[in-house]
Structure 1
Amino acid sequence: MEKHYYNPPQLPNWEKAFSQVVVVKSEEMQTIYLSGQVSVDRENKLIGEGDLKCQATQAFKNLQVALASVGATTMDVVKINIYVKDYRSADAGVVSEAFQSAFPFEKLPASTWLGVQALALEGLLIEIDAIAVVAVHPTIKHT
């Protein structure tokens, strides 16, 4: 088993605090662990202050960037956790719309949505983490 740690350059560099992506490889598969993605740009500037819809859209985009950095897509996600600050039932439609845009599939990952009192940075309204699994393809050797 191998572990690889990644901090894609398209996302904020928080490597002193955590890795954005950790890939655990075995002979047949790799499991991809994605740290919580929030609504910030690569310079760690908040996008969509006070706007849950905008923040949800950006957080899902960042999740897709994190997946793509290791050759995966949302189709590979098997578990997703969504944390919404001060969650109210009226927020469900907004979050669901952003979720469906990133996951337009019939078979969806297991999912947990939680309302939380606060997130790591002031102004954040949503955070999304995920686990993905992909098959390891044997390397083709050229002679």
Structure 2
Amino acid sequence: MNNPRFLRPDWQWDRDYPLSQMVACGDFLYLSGQVPLDAAGNLVGPGDLRAQSAQVFRNMREVLQLAGCDLRAVIRLTTYFTVSLSDGAATKAYWEVRREYFGDHKPASTGMRVSELISPEMMLEVDAVAYLPAARK
């Protein structure tokens, strides 16, 4: 197996954290949980799940570009929500944004509610696994 490559975009807020946003190992890419922060570290869309979801997927797309691929390479998503999804409105907002970014591409997925994330204002975090050969087709 190839030696892992640890990849990081040049995000100002990410410079001080002891993690990589993505690890490339063989044909697989393992993305750290993407959060709704812009490159400067500002929270996008406080209280707005739609805006936060869009920022998460923009970040994911930017990270994947470090390996020369896009969201079609994603084969697995795990979404951690801090908001209640029982009323359906939050779920609908998330799915609509996800469809905007992924189109007809439908990775295997798990969603769960958690009590909190690293910042109390964050409403979701999404991690992913991608497969490089899928991006090259």
Gaps of 5+ in 2: none
- The residue aligned with 2:25 is 24
The 2-side partners of 1:96 and 1:11 are apart by 29
- The residue aligned with 1:8 is 9
Structure with the higher helix share, 1 or 2: 2
Displaced runs of 4+ in structure 1, greater than 6 A? none
Q: Is the 8 A contact 1:11 1:62 kept in 2?
A: no
- The residue aligned with 2:114 is 116
Cα deviation 1:95-143 (Å, max 9, x = unaligned): 10111111102x411000111110111210011110000129xxxxxxx
Structure with the higher strand share, 1 or 2: 1
Report the TM-score when normalising by structure 2: 0.88
Percent of matched pairs sharing the same residue: 29
Report the TM-score when normalising by structure 1: 0.84
Query: Do residues 94 (structure 1) and 97 (structure 2) align?
Result: no
Q: 1:61 aligns with which of 53, 58, 62?
A: 58
Query: Do residues 45 (structure 1) and 42 (structure 2) align?
Result: yes
The 1-side partners of 2:21 and 2:94 are apart by 22
Q: Is the 8 A contact 2:11 2:40 kept in 1?
A: no
Q: How many residues align?
A: 131
User: What CA RMSD, in Å, does the superposition of the two structures yield over aligned residues?
Assistant: 1.7
